Chain A
Amino acid sequence: MTDKKMISLILGCMCILLSAGIAIQVRTIGGIGTSTGSNSTENQLRDAILKTKENYDNLYEALEKAEVKLETERTNATQNNSELTDLENNIKEANKQLGLTEVTGEGVIVTLNDSTVPLTGSTILSDPNDYLIHYEDIISIINELKNAGAEAISINGQRIVANSVIKCDGTVIKVNGQKIGTPFVISAIGMQETLAQVNRYYGYLWKMKNEWNLDVSFERTKNPITIPKYTGTIKFNYAQSQ
């Protein structure tokens, strides 16, 4: 009897290991959101991309840690010297203006989505393009936000900086070289009263909503919003200050 108990205990433990392994594996593959294709070259390429992406994520994490360390080192080094403290503050201010630091503050969130009105295909006048959000719409909204005094803007987590490009890329839109799709969530930090002017009567947003029937919304957030930093590099090779 004890022998049988022993066997069942060991078998039970093995089953735990086995099914836990299977479940973790299924979740790992499921989380990536890809299925195994029938083409082996395709699988290899996908595998290579996923591994590279993971490597990139790890390296980026390490970089962020190193930056935090650098920041603390700098603060420690400049603690007892008022001149250096001023320089340190200058660097911080400059980074903030360049969009190289994460910022938090009061602001608004504009959400743009494709039209939910069904396409009436019978008439010649109905063009499917009229029912979608285009990059021009995003540029116009960002322009209005900037005009209303936005200090920091991001689209779907991509920070808008001085050299950001918003570009049409087929069915998606490229911001800072990263592909983003609907819904476009544009967050802007600034004085809420002036930013609310973006939502004014007969403004661009109003037109999008009422004339073109696009699914847009405007929200004045109660909680402070956080806008991530710009993750690309800013390089000046030709422009030199006098």
Chain B
Amino acid sequence: MIVIAIILGCVIGAVIGINAPVIPYTYSTFLAIAVVAALDSVFGGIRSVLKKNFDLVVFITGFFCNSILSIALTYLGQKLNIDIYLAALLVFVGRMFTNLTIIRLHYIDKWKEAKAQKQAKPKAIEEK
């Protein structure tokens, strides 16, 4: 059910995005950084689901607060003439890679376990 909701949401979102008006180029940096922040939150959410410490409230607040804060920081950076968004990007993308690694390792472990069980099973039958 959750998977269906995610896929449906992605499809509806893509349709809305294709039909929505294009934003001015000046603001595209803000949208880009917000998208990266949101993606980071999503990967963080997947990781926490796998680690079984998923908290919906933490996830939702992270999703929105990260996006809004990153936009605010980018704006501040533009005012101060310093590329703060690069630092935000570094943190978000760095964390995304960490989360992806954790997700990957989790599935590799699972796969190895399944393989070990498969090999162990015939032996057990033989012993019987």
Contacts and interface: CB of A to CB of B under 8 A. Distances in A.
A23 B28 CA distance: 12
A11 B6 contact: yes
Interface residues of B, number: 33
A29 B28 contact: yes
Contact of B9 (A15, A31, A32, A51): A15
Interface stretch (A2-10, A125-133, A135-143, A193-201): A2-10
Interface string B2-42: 10111111111110111010111110100110110011001
B5 A17 contact: no
Given A12-B9, A13-B9, A21 B34 contact: yes
A18 B5 contact: no
Interface residues of A, number: 32
B18 A27 contact: yes
B85 interface: no
A163 interface: no
Contacts, number: 105
A70 interface: no
Nearest to B63: A14
Contacts of B24: 54
B9 A24 contact: no
Contact of B8 (A12, A22, A29, A31): A12
B13 A4 contact: no
A8 B4 contact: yes
A51 B20 CA distance: 21
B4 A24 contact: no
A51 B26 contact: yes
B90 interface: no
Contact of B13 (A6, A19, A55): A19
B91 interface: no
Nearest to A13: B9
Contact of B2 (A4, A13, A20, A28): A4
A168 interface: no
Contacts of A26: 17
Given A11-B6, A12-B9, A24-B23, A18 B28 contact: no
Nearest to A23: B17
A21 B38 contact: yes
5 contacts: A11-B5, A15-B5, A16-B13, A21-B17, A28-B23
Given A13-B9, A14-B63, 8 more contacts: A8-B2, A15-B6, A18-B39, A19-B10, A19-B17, A22-B14, A27-B22, A28-B22
